[in-house]
Amino acid sequence: MKIQKLNCLVGSRFALSDISFEAHPGQLLSIVGRSGSGKSTFLRCLAGLEVYTVSHEVKSPKMGFVFQSSNLFPHLNLVQNIQLALKKVQKKTDREIAIIVDEVLTKVRLQHCRQHYPQNMSGGEQQRGAIARALALKPDVMLYDEPTSALDPELVDEVYDIMLDLKKTNIIQIVVTHDRRALKRISDQVGYIDQGNLKMLCSLQQMEQQLKKLTPDQQKYLELYV
């Protein structure tokens, strides 16, 4: 996945300006930055949920998106939530759907919640259910917008464990997070967005060196993550 000069204009202001990056199969990129810096807009542009321009897009991969809230349909149980797009959009057969549902529920360790409705699942289970629903559509890239920010601390690792498992596949993962501990646990690379600009993209090991190229204010913020 390679993007060059991604721009997003909101009114007369550039929410994103000339963002270029490359990600490879199996990589997990964590994106950090202050509130309002453009992190969520960045994900929404990648998913095609915002109007944007890009000078060169080598590949337009299929995207899965998990938000802060799971957004599972409350009137459907977990299996029905996963089945819906497979039936209505992809027109899969019942047999194909059954195989896919079993596969993704195993991946996110939720076989025991097959018939559970969202209100009967923990926050961590709901987010894993949202990941399963996205995975069912066979995405090349998974996008997560602060997927653990609304969870109790003891449930956070349930979600990050699944992300670590997915790193063993060819799926690219891009995660917006403020969680310093998770950043160090799951990231292959860390991107820093400030005022709509991608100021840094490097490995955790390279962060200290990269900080020297930033302004004192940017350094002060990023020192929280080093």
User: Cα 189–27–90 angle (5° rounding)?
Assistant: 135
- Integer-rounded Cα radius of gyration of the chain: 18
Give the predicted TM-score (pTM) of the model.
0.91
Instruction: Tell me the average pLDDT across 151-164.
Output: 91
Q: How confident is the model at residue 28 (pLDDT cuts 50, 70, 90)?
A: very high
Domain ranges (residues) in the chain: 1-61+142-150+173-226
Phi, psi of 191 (to 5 degrees): -110, 140
Average pLDDT rounded to a whole number, residues 70-88: 97
Domain 1-61+142-150+173-226 has CATH 3.40.50.300: yes
Per the DSSP assignment, residues forming a β-bridge with 209 are none
The pLDDT value recorded for residue 13 is 82
